[in-house]
Amino acid sequence: NIAVAAPATPKKAVTAQNAATVTEEATENKTTLESVRVIPTPSEIVNYPLAKLDWVEASGGLSLSGVTPKKSIRYNVKKDVFVALAKLDLYYTPCPSLIPVRAMLNVYLNGLLVKTIPILKEDLGVKTHNLVDLDPRAIGDNNLIEFEFIGHYTDYCENIVNSCLWLNIFAMSEL
C-alpha cells in the first residue's frame, strides 16, 4: 500500500510548501493565523498487486531457491506524486524442510535492507503473511524491491541445488 498526496492546488491555503509565506503575509496584513483556513492535501491509497509489476513469473509471484536466491521487481512512481507511507503486504510459503530461524527472507528497497524476516518453525510449509514497512524517503521515480532467500536444510555440507531450498512469494502480495 502506498499513501500518496496529490499535487497541491494553487489556492490561498496553508500547506507545508507555503506555510512561511502565509505567516509573513499574515504578519504584514496584521491578521492572525487563526483567520487563515487550513486545507488538507488530498490523498489516496494505491495498491499495486505484485502480479501486475514487472519481472514477476508467469504465476504472478516469485520462486526463490538455492540456485536463484535473489529476485527483484521494479515499479515506478510518477514525478508529481508524493509518497507519504509505503507498505509491502507479503504472502509467502517456505519449504517445510528448512531449519527454522537459520533460514530467512531479506527484503531490500533500492539497495537498502528494509527487513530480515526469519523463517520460524510454525511458518514451514504454510502460507505466511508479513507486513513490511518501507521508508517513503527511499522511494524515488524508478524503484527496485529485491527479495533474498537464505535457506538451510542441514547443519553440514549443503548443496545449493537441493530441492529442499525454496520459498515462494505469492501473486496476492501487494505494494
Residues 43-65, mean pLDDT to the nearest whole number = 76
8 Å CB contact between 153 and 166? no
Quote the pLDDT of residue 84. 86
Average pLDDT over residues 117-146: 94
Residue ranges of alpha helices (H) inside the chain are 19-28
Strand spans (E) along 95-150: 104-109, 112-118, 128-134, 142-150
Residue 39 φ then ψ, to 5°: -110, 120
Between 75 and 106, name the one with better pLDDT. Answer: 106
Over residues 106-110, mean pLDDT? 97
17-32 pLDDT, tens per residue? Answer: 555 554 555 555 555 5
Banded model confidence at residue 168, pLDDT cuts 50, 70, 90: very high
pLDDT band with cut points at 50, 70 and 90 for residue 79: confident
| pTM of structure | 0.73
